[in-house]
């Protein structure tokens, strides 16, 4: 079957010559042909992501056009009148070409396109969808995946990644045959002025977006001479992060020159991921030379931001997503509280694998905390429900994987907004004689010491998915009562939609989309979560432990990890 599909691509008039040349080079490599054609590149709930190359299981102009045609079919069947979409792209290989192809397909389907003239952050795409009142948006990005990858993310009319319409869109895409794809003849950005259904956008929308971000500033009376080191990690953040900091009055922003400009190979880092401390190695050296007080780094599509802070001994300490999120939430709410601007129906939103310290901080200011499944699209979905019902006012949302948002004009995690707030927060506390580490320790002293760690377990072989399924079902059926001498108080099963109290034995329904996730909660706010990856054979185990102090929390964490991982090992061996 895969060989037939390979031959079809070679003969098809809808496959471009460059892809055919690549395919001819593997004509005697049966395993490679099988890998490229044994299946379609999977279009998940938010889009698709894969290696760049020829084949139905690769990111290329054909698979991008096919996906775009399916989305165009969905839009034309779902809405009437003038339809529009917005498209953005990042610094990766083929991003510009994929964005151009998507624009052509939409235009040929009588859908007006707002296309960014050059690379832009993913959150600005979300903003553009809302600003232009589009029915959908597309961004070409693979976030912080390796250089050989690219991806295609789809946004709904509210500016969040698609959730409700995802299944219908996937169904439409799967029905598209290559002969069904419509496209315009001109497919290069520098010639799009000849197409009256494609409008190039850029600096004008940047200005509107940046002006909205500056309105989110909470304190102008801060020390704007603070020394800031910034690295865009070869991605899209360079222009707009620097612009918002400059227009906000920060005098000493030092950009890491080696990582300043777009580089699809991300040649200076092992991984362009601010969650990895290795990505900050050059930035830390730059900070040591410039007496940097904080270091911020944004990922290639600039929706995530990492933070490194200098302590009182001059050492640079990386903060994880839970710590940075707690600092930002505390800064936002404490500032609004001083200004008398916290509404009675204020809401903070976090994912189920994000530390409970945020709930403690929010409760101090009488702000309700909501939990969502993993993925910022669920936070965006809840924001839209708040807006439609008018029952809650969104104040802050975040996830442990370095994504943060305040304001409602963007519906995705936004590293441009977060970068501005992080710098303002650091400058504010500096004026008060404190570093961000001092403030974080103050938060721990008030609410208890929280420590978090995620362990990713890889499985191999054709039965890898079956192994993970067996482990999940074993934990589901044989519920743990005690972990690290702490009582488990509740088990939340997001696949079954239930919350079982181990204290009174009662089971309640929980209203979340179905997802194969188990959460074991303890009465003091500690928990651990089991979550298999939907795209690769990995089982993620999240731990969040609360202690009276750091030594206690560390000890409990190590014990909990040992007990859970040993149990998983035994299940793996016995399966």
Residues in a beta bridge with 150: 50
3-class DSSP assignment, residue 158 = coil
Taking residue 149's Cβ as centre, other Cβ atoms within 10 Å add up to 17
DSSP assigned state of 161: B
Sheet containing 47-51, strands listed edge to edge, beginning at the edge strand earlier in sequence: 47-51, 149-155, 136-140, 84-89, 112-116, 198-201
Q: Is the sign of the CA dihedral 457, 463, 466, 467 positive or negative?
A: negative
Please work out, in degrees rounded to the nearest 5, the angle formed at the alpha carbon of residue 374 by the alpha carbons of 372 and 375.
Answer: 100
- Cα radius of gyration rounded to whole Å, the chain: 24
Reply yes or no on whether 143 is catalytic: yes
> 231-242: string of b/e by CB count within 10 Å (b at 16+)?
bbbbbbbbbbbb
DSSP assignment of 7-39: HHHHH-TTS-HHHHHHHHTTTT-HHHHHHHHSS
Helices (H), 432-546: 436-447, 464-477
Helices (H), 232-276: 237-247
Q: Is 216 exposed, middle or buried (0-12, 13-18, 19+ CB in 10 A)?
A: middle
Residues in a beta bridge with 518: 493, 530
- From the list 298, 288, 152, 294, the residue with the least C-alpha distance to 234 is 298
**Contact, 256 vs 230, CB < 8 A?**
yes
Residue 249: partners with Cβ closer than 8 Å, 6 or more residues away: 224
Residues in a beta bridge with 372: 351
3-class DSSP assignment, residue 520 = strand
Residues in a beta bridge with 309: 294, 317
DSSP assigned state of 104: H
> 43-75: string of b/e by CB count within 10 Å (b at 16+)?
bebbbbbbbbbbbbbbbbbbbbbbbbbbbbbbb
Rounded distance, CA 303 to CA 307, Å? Answer: 14
Residue with tokens 């919350």: 499
- From the list 230, 316, 233, the residue with the least C-alpha distance to 268 is 233
| Candidate list 143, 279, 335, 401, residue with the active-site label | 143
- Residue numbers annotated as active site: 143
């Amino acid at each position: 079957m895969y060989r037939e599909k390979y031959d079809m691509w070679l003969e098809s008039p809808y496959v471009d010559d460059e892809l055919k040349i690549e395919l001819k080079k593997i004509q005697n490599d049966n395993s490679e042909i099988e890998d490229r054609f044994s299946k379609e590149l999977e279009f998940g709930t938010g889009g698709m992501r894969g290696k760049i190359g020829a084949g139905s299981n690769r990111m290329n102009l054909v698979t991008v056009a096919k996906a775009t045609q399916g989305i165009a079919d969905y839009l034309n069947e779902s809405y009437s009148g003038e339809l529009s979409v917005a498209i953005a792209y990042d610094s990766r290989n083929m991003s510009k070409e994929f964005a151009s192809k998507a624009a052509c397909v939409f235009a040929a389907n009588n859908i007006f396109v707002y296309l960014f003239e050059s690379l832009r952050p993913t959150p600005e795409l979300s903003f553009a969808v809302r600003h232009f009142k589009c029915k959908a948006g597309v961004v070409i990005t693979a976030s912080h995946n390796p250089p050989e990858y690219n991806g295609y993310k789809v946004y709904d009319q509210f500016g969040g990644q698609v959730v409700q319409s995802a299944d219908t869109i996937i169904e439409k895409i799967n029905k598209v045959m290559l002969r069904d794809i419509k496209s315009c003849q001109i497919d290069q950005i520098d010639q799009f002025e000849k197409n009256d259904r494609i409008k190039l956008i850029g600096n004008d929308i940047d200005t509107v977006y940046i002006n909205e971000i500056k309105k989110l500033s909470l304190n102008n009376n801060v020390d704007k001479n603070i020394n800031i080191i910034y690295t865009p990690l070869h991605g899209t953040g360079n222009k707009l992060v620097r612009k918002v900091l400059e227009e906000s009055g920060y005098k000493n922003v030092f950009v890491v020159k080696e990582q300043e400009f777009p580089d699809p190979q991300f040649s200076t880092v092992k991984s362009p991921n601010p969650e990895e401390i290795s990505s900050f190695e050059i930035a830390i050296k730059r900070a040591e030379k410039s007496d940097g007080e904080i270091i911020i780094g944004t990922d290639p599509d600039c929706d995530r931001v990492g933070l490194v802070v200098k302590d009182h001994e001059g050492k640079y300490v990386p903060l994880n997503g839970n710590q940075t999120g707690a600092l930002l939430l505390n800064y936002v709410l404490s500032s609004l509280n001083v200004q008398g601007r916290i509404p009675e129906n204020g809401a903070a939103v976090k994912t189920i694998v994000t530390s409970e310290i945020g709930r403690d901080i929010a409760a101090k200011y009488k702000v309700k905390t909501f939990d969502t499944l993993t993925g910022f699209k669920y936070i965006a979905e809840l924001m839209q429900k708040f807006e439609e019902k008018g029952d809650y006012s969104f104040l802050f949302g975040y996830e442990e994987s370095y994504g943060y948002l305040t304001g409602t004009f963007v519906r995705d995690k936004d590293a441009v907004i977060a970068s501005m707030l992080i710098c303002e927060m650091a400058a504010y506390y500096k004026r008060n004689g404190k570093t961000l580490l001092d403030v974080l320790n103050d938060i721990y002293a008030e609410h208890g010491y929280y420590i978090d760690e995620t362990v990713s377990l890889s499985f191999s072989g054709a039965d890898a998915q079956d192994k993970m399924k067996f482990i999940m079902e074993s934990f589901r059926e044989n519920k743990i009562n005690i972990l690290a001498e702490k009582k488990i108080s509740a088990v939340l099963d997001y696949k079954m939609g239930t919350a079982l109290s181990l204290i009174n034995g009662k089971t309640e329904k929980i209203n979340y989309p179905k997802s194969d996730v188990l959460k074991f909660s303890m009465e003091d706010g500690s928990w651990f979560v089991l979550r298999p990856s939907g795209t690769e054979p990995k089982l993620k185990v999240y731990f969040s432990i609360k202690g009276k102090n750091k030594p206690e929390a560390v000890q409990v964490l190590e014990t909990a990890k040992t007990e859970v991982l040993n149990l998983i090992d035994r299940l793996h061996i016995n399966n």
